[in-house]
Chains A and B, each alone.
Chain A
Amino acid sequence: MREMKFYGTALPSIEIEPYSGKLIVIEGTDGVGRSTHVALLRTWLESAGHAVLDTGMTRSILAGRGIKDARAGHTLGRLTMQLYYATDFADRLENQMLSALRAGFIVLTDRYIYSAIARAVVRGADPEWVRAIYGIALVPDAVFYLRMRSAEELAGRVLASGRGFDYWESGMDLGLENDYYDSFITYQKLLLKEFDRMSGEYGFQVIDASRPVRRVATELRKSISRMIDDESVITAPTDREIVKTEMREKARTAIGTTSKDGAKTEAPEQLKSA
């Protein structure tokens, strides 16, 4: 059991009480393989008998669809975007994460407040302002920062995934460069710098994500099994498991799945922005 600790002002509508679950954050810039690792961890934890909830940005019932529609139109102002994301975050925190943690779930989240802070700061928002908004966030039990050595390497990963460059992931709204590739590189460099800056402030456990997926996955499994006092021997995921997971993740983001809420999730972004 652990006492709930918040970065700043706690939410008004909740009771602060000890919880038995674990909040585990997988952070990193676009293309580092976060969603693959979350999916691999989920399967692994569930097969060991742990109840798992996974969540990620724009997956709230309240604001998920609205954000996606707004992104598709490319008419989202900078401040509006930051606050829309904060709304999405607060809804997931209150309605998904906190209740799951109280019930003893392991909550895996694909990104947390750090990506939101990095994106906002790179777009010229006042760092104090963004941090104050996200003061409502619960301090996680662990933050694993999947770190790539360079923006060029990230670009390679994005291309290899077959997704192509997305308008927002490339920071095209910033007008930094004239084309998607140059913009992606410049934008991701700025993000990497912000993440490195936050690493000490928030106590990230930095994982070198330039290595093959199975090695990164094994390192994550080792660290997490220590956290949850799991004594079982850690094995690396098999190649078959990795390929299957990657295919599934690709399909999920490419075709767009319909959630219970009836919201279409993630149609191919590059099509929308074309």
Chain B
Amino acid sequence: MISYGHHRYPGRLFVVEGTDGSGKSTQLSLLYQWLKSEGYSVFFSEWNSSSLVKDTTKRAKKRRLFTPTTFSLLHATDFADRTERDIIPPLKAGAIVLADRYIYTAFARDVARGCDRAWVREIYKFAVKPTAAFFFRAPLDVAIDRIASARPQLKFYEAGMDMDWADDEEESFKIFQGKILDEYDHMVNEFGLTVVDGTQPIRTQQRQMREIVSRYLREKLKEKAVLAK
């Protein structure tokens, strides 16, 4: 098993991270459009998207079957399937992979739920180290406002209601997001995350992102895409 930091593939992997409402998905889709228009072969991979695991996760959420440990392990299973199916093959083929949430989401959420830091990191040792990981940092109140306006009802696990931090969903969500933000802040140095200020205008954030991404792109990646067509 090749572990984190030891994978050597010709492709590039860019990931976005951040709390809910930090604006990361918007930025990633803008990046996607740009790379496509520049002629690169780009693949998109989302958190919690493995078709093998989807039904199990859905059922478990609906019936509230999760403990912090099984929540962590099932999401790791989902991520493993994505890695084996959607991430490694395109990277081997020299394509660009864009991931909306990556292992850092698990590190933040699972540790916020009480899982052991070292244990969670060990589980994800098989992950490919990203070329660059962007952490969209938005202050807690900004993120919560964005979520509140976008989603009328918070879901049980999303709000961290399984942890009995608070009786009220909104209150619980705030506590949970606060813990998650703390974990992200710890990871900035540990994993060398690139911090993007999520309160800046969307265009400013995108410009910063494109500037960094373009440093890692070579004409060669483009040629591959042309040949594939």
Contact = CB atoms under 8 A, between A and B. Distances in A.
Interface stretch (A70-78, A213-221, A227-235): A70-78
Contacts of B76: 83, 86-87
B74 interface: yes
Contacts of A169: none
A254 interface: no
Given A75-B52, A79-B84, A86 B73 contact: yes
Interface string B179-197: 0000000000000000000
Contacts of B70: 62-63, 87, 90-91, 94
- Chain B contact-residue range equals 20 to 34
B60 A62 contact: yes
A61 interface: yes
A13 B69 contact: yes
A84 B1 contact: no
* Max chain B C-beta neighbours (<10 A), residue from A62, A69, A126: A62
Interface of B: 1, 3, 50, 52-53, 55-56, 60, 65-70, 73-74, 76-77, 80-81, 83-85, 113-116, 118-119, 122-123, 125-126
B84 A80 contact: yes
Interface of A: 8-9, 11-13, 61-63, 65-66, 69-70, 73, 75-80, 82-84, 86-87, 90-91, 94-95, 124-126, 129, 132-133, 135-136
B123 A12 contact: no
A129 B122 contact: yes
Contact of B119 (A77, A82, A132): A132
Given A79-B1, A79-B80, A83-B80, A132 B68 contact: no
B122 A65 contact: no
Nearest to A89: B73
A90 B84 contact: no
B90 to A, nearest CB: 15
Contacts of B55: 65-66, 69
Contacts of A90: 67, 69-70, 73
- Sorted nearest first, the 6 A-B pairs with minimum C-beta distance are A77-B84, A66-B56, A12-B114, A83-B77, A87-B73, A79-B80
A133 B56 contact: no
A129 B125 CA distance: 8
A97 to B, nearest CB: 13
A69 B50 CA distance: 14
Contacts of B84: 77-80
A42 to B, nearest CB: 26
A252 to B, nearest CB: 23
B58 to A, nearest CB: 10
A84 B81 CA distance: 10
A91 B69 CA distance: 8
Given A62-B70, A87-B73, A90-B73, A129 B126 contact: yes
Contact of A13 (B67, B77, B81): B67
A77 B79 CA distance: 11
Given A12-B68, A13-B69, A62-B65, A80 B52 contact: yes
B127 to A, nearest CB: 10
Contact of B77 (A12, A87, A95): A87
Contacts of B115: 12
A133 B1 CA distance: 14
A136 B69 contact: yes
Given A129-B122, A135-B119, A79 B67 contact: no
Given A12-B113, A62-B65, A132-B122, A80 B80 contact: yes
Contacts of A95: 67
B62 to A, nearest CB: 12
